[in-house]
Structure 1
Amino acid sequence: MTVATFDTAVIGGGLVGCWTALFLARRGARVAILEKGSVGAQSSGTNFGNLRLQGRFPGQYPLSLRSQAIWEQLQDFVGSACEYERTGHLYCAFDEGEAEKLEGYAKVSESYGLSIERLGREDLKHRYPWLADKVTAATFSARDATANPRLVTPAVARAARDAGASVFENIRVSEVRKSGSGFELRADPDLRIHCANVVNAAGAWAVEIAEQFGETAPLFAAGPPQFVTEPFPYFMSPSVQTIDGSVIVRQTRRGNLILAGYPRTAADPASQRVPVPPQKTLAAMKRLAELAPVLRSCSVIRVWSGTEGYLPDMVPVIGASETTPGLWHAFGFCGHGFQIGPGVGLCLSEMILDGGTETPLEPFGIGRFRSGVAVSEKFRREFDERKTA
């Protein structure tokens, strides 16, 4: 049996867990990452790679903007740019009702200091002639960006290791319990860890840990289906999204188009599989052709997804446990974790080492589920009606 002692054990080797470990290790803390599979194997490494600022939950903006500042210095933090590119983000509306929603999102974004450009039909024809005529309005945020998720999480994990963190892969944590003023973790095979703090960043499996300490959340496992096409002559510089989420697309410099489309697809956390039904691929490509007719003849060459945790208000859990000092939660990112991941890791490191953070995290407390939360329209549309099948 191996016994090790750390200041903090991070359960989950996704992007949030790895960023948390990196920021802790950079300040001299002894930290371990415990990942049941491979680092970045689930949604952290299989998402769209969108670093979108506009259109976010209002309470998330301080965290999101702090995170974006880290993304903009990614090379300095992890030694690689990981294909980070400030592409800008084009948010598209197909009718007057959707255009009104866009305007509402734009005003919220601007209230937090983000610069938003409004584009009408004639502006769009001039700047993006490949868009369909049915796109009546759009907003553009130049600060929004993209990065390659398959590269990012392993790079952050390497940087954490270089800073002194220990990274354990293919290690499943079977038990977490209080031991004196800290915790004891039991992990297979025959690993025991003693630590003062535990960060529960276990993604769709995080509730299993929270419930060992009398806390819970109505977490639902699913995954956004992703597709990549054959290479196509490069023409699409921004990432592009319809306001209903049915199309989210960007083009790599190699020419391939990466496409995500909602509703999400069902996940099986036990088998760690998220199969993408063929009808989802066909529906997504049809919607893509409606947005950009020039892509009507494009062929899909690969589909994939990854397991992510979703909550009914589509707002993650971030912050201290309300039952157990030294336990910290960061899960249920509802498809938004890639962009805010660095900021979450930084805030958690500050709370653990300094006793607090300058970034307001009150909307993300786990205690909000004790009395129930309002179900978001997006969650109801995708999950209550079980359109993930």
Structure 2
Amino acid sequence: MSLTRYDVCVVGGGVMGCSTALFLARGGMKVALLEKHALCRGASGVNAGTLTLHMTRAALVPYAIKAWDMWMHPETWLGHGVLATAAPGLSLAFTPAEQELLEQRAAARREYGADIRLLSGHEAKRIEPGIPESCLSAAYCETDGFASAYLTGKAFHEALLLAGVTIIENADVDSITPPGESYRISANQGSLQIQANRLVLAGGVWLEPLLALIGITLPVKTLINQLIVTERMPPVMRTVLSIANGLLSMKQFANGTVVIGGGWQGRGHRDSGKPETIPENLIGNLRLGQYVCPALAEARVARIWLGLESETADAMPVIGPLAGFPELYVIGCVHSGYTSGPYMGKLLAGSLLGNEPEMPLFNPSRLIIPAGSEPDTIAEKINEQH
């Protein structure tokens, strides 16, 4: 069989995989991008589109700041907008314990460059009149906002084609042959064959089974995040609202709909098909949203959906080369990954192109379980966190 040979094959067409492929192609490489379904229709297309520092892990704040600027200026790199909207973010506290947590979280993020300041409840209410009088304090950050995640795939598709990337959707990778001189990637039961000098795995929650194809064990937890969108309603919020304990994220789009999320879980598994809502979690999410913004009592739910988020044992990303496998790279498993994704993809692409990264990568080899050993330590660490 005659195979088309590429400089790089990227497996995974979410924000991180698309960004990596885009910047590699613009750097002069011949790139193939394989996606199991359609571009940015997995986690990258069904998340809430929040572009926030409040919910970004402190150590990732510098990356999120860089990416936030990219989202707000898509003409400089993507060419097509995704309705990115800059709006200040307010994270609220309603109890003394939440106030303490809010102060700790704000201080940790400020250490990494986030411009977050603390406000009294009265000051917060002047900024966001719709919040209740019971708000004791708030953390305020100008670097916040949101985008329409469902537009991401269309924007990337056009940018990638213009850059000369070969896009292959509905490509379910079933085998990877480790390199002699190159990698061979087989998909759809062998009907699709790709040969590439370098391989980037950007499969999100499917990163674990992809790595297993070449004998690497790297556990990845799958979170089933639930999101709610209301029918259109008059303006009820002008900021991105969250709370100190992290169980709520809300914003109102220009068309009047409100998106409510914050990590409330559904049930399901990455391989089990369509995930399902847990009714009590749905009710809890709605009640919390209504408590923070009482005007939502007048809203009706228009749609509920669930998205899959990947998480490593230490809840930090994997971005960089894999030791022992020449020219094999991994990127993924980032909390607030939609926020940080474009910059992290650009960072990895720059590394492959021979540039010195302006920020550190995240060595994936730290999480690999050696062949023949028991995966107790990492598996236990994942379970302890949930």
Give the TM-score normalised by the residue count of structure 2. 0.92
Does the CA contact (< 8 Å) of 1:228 and 1:258 recur in 2?
Answer: yes
Contact preservation (8 Å) 2:265, 2:281: no
Q: Secondary structure of 2:105's partner?
A: helix
CA drift of 1:342 comes to: 0.5
Indicate yes or no: 2:311 matched with 1:310: yes
Say whether 1:346 aligns with 2:313.
no
CA deviation string 1:180-210 (max 9, x = no partner): 2321111226221111111111111111222
Tell me the amino acid that sits aligned with residue 342 of structure 2: P
Closer/same/farther in 2, CA of residues 108 and 55 from structure 1, 3 Å limit: farther
The equivalent residue for 1:77 is 77
Shift of residue 18, structure 1, vs aligned partner = 0.6
CA positional deviation for 1:76? 2.8
- Asked if residue 299 in structure 1 is aligned to residue 300 in structure 2, the reply is yes
Question: What is the aligned-residue identity percentage?
Answer: 27
In the alignment, the residues of structure 2 paired with residue 99 and residue 368 of structure 1 have an alpha-carbon distance, to the nearest angstrom, of 34
Name the structure 2 match of 1:119: 119
Name the CA shift for 1:91/1:376 in 2 (closer, same or farther; >3 Å): farther
1:64 has 2:83 as partner: no
- What SS does the corresponding residue of 1:282 show, helix, strand or coil? helix
Go from structure 1 to structure 2 and tell me whether the alpha carbon gap of 1:143 and 1:357 turns closer, same or farther (over 3 Å shift): same
Report the aligned-residue RMSD.
2.2
Note the residue ranges of structure 1 that are not aligned, 5 or more in a row: 384-389
Residues 1:170 and 1:252: Cα distance change in structure 2 (over 3 Å)? same
- 2:115 and 2:223 map into 1 onto residues whose CA distance is 33
Aligned to 2:233: 232
Residue 2 of structure 1: CA displacement?
6.3
Alpha-carbon shift at residue 102 of structure 1 (Å): 1.6
Q: Deviations over 1:320-339 (max 9, x none)?
A: 112201111112224x2101
Q: Which stretches of structure 1, 4 residues or longer, exceed 3 Å deviation after superposition? A: 368-377
**Superposition deviation, residue 177 in structure 1:** 1.3
Q: Residue 89 and residue 2 in structure 1: after superposition, are their counterparts in 2 closer, same or farther (change >3 A)?
A: farther
2:130 aligns with 130
- Equivalent pair of 1:207/1:217 in contact (CA under 8 Å): yes
Tell me which amino acid in the other structure corresponds to 2:364. Answer: G
Alignment-mate amino acid for residue 360 of structure 2: P
Q: Give the Cα separation in 1 of the matches to 2:105 and 2:351.
A: 30
Contact in 1 for aligned 2:178/2:214 (Cα 8 Å): no
CA shift at 1:59, angstroms? Answer: 2.4
Could you tell me how far apart the structure 1 residues matched to 2:289 and 2:346 are? 36
Contact 1:273 1:306 in 2 (8 A): no
Cα deviation, residue 108, structure 1? 2.6
- Paired with 1:374 and 1:271, the residues of 2 have a C-alpha distance of 20
- What one-letter code is carried by the residue in structure 2 that aligns with 1:142? E
8 Å Cα contact 1:9-1:31 kept in structure 2: yes
Corresponding residue SS for 1:266: coil
| Cα distance in structure 1, aligned partners of 2:367 and 2:191 | 36
Equivalent position of 1:365 in the other structure: 364
Partner letter of residue 349 of structure 2?
Answer: S
Deviation of residue 375 (structure 1)? 7.8
Q: Find the aligned partners of 1:265 and 1:366 in 2 and give their Cα distance.
A: 30
User: Aligned residue for 1:165?
Assistant: 165
Aligned length: 379
CA distance in 1, matches of 2:154, 2:381: 33
For structure 2, the residue ranges without an aligned partner over 5 or more in a row are 370-374
Show CA shifts across 1:94-116 (max 9, x none): 11222122222222332233322
- Name the structure 2 match of 1:386: none
Say if 1:380 and 1:246 are closer, same or farther in 2 by CA, change over 3 A: farther
Whole-angstrom CA distance in 2 between matches of 1:369 and 1:104: 32
Distance in 2 (alpha carbons) for counterparts of 1:86 and 1:37: 30
- CA separation of 1:288/1:34 partners in 2, compared to 1, >3 Å: closer, same or farther? same
Aligned 8 A contact 2:5 2:195 in 1: yes
Q: How does 1:1-389 map to 2 (within 5 A)?
A: 3-188=3-188, 190-334=191-335, 336-354=336-354, 356-362=356-362, 364-368=363-367, 370=369, 372=377, 380=384, 383=386
Displacement of 1:341? 0.5
SS of equivalent residue, structure 2 residue 307? coil
Shift of 1:148: 0.8
The CA deviation at 1:9 is 0.5
In structure 2, do the counterparts of structure 1 residues 320 and 72 end up closer, same or farther at CA, with 3 Å as the change threshold?
same
AA of the residue aligned to 1:243: A
Letter in 1 for 2:247: S
How big is the shift at 1:345?
0.7
2-structure distance, mates of 1:133, 1:375: 42
Partner secondary structure for residue 67 of structure 1:
helix
Q: In 1, distance between residues paired with 2:61 and 2:263?
A: 23
Counterpart Cα distance in 2 of 1:355 and 1:365: 19
Report if aligned partners of 1:227, 1:303 keep a CA contact under 8 Å in 2: yes
Q: CA deviation at 1:300?
A: 0.5
Whole-Å separation in 2 of the counterparts to 1:245 and 1:114: 17
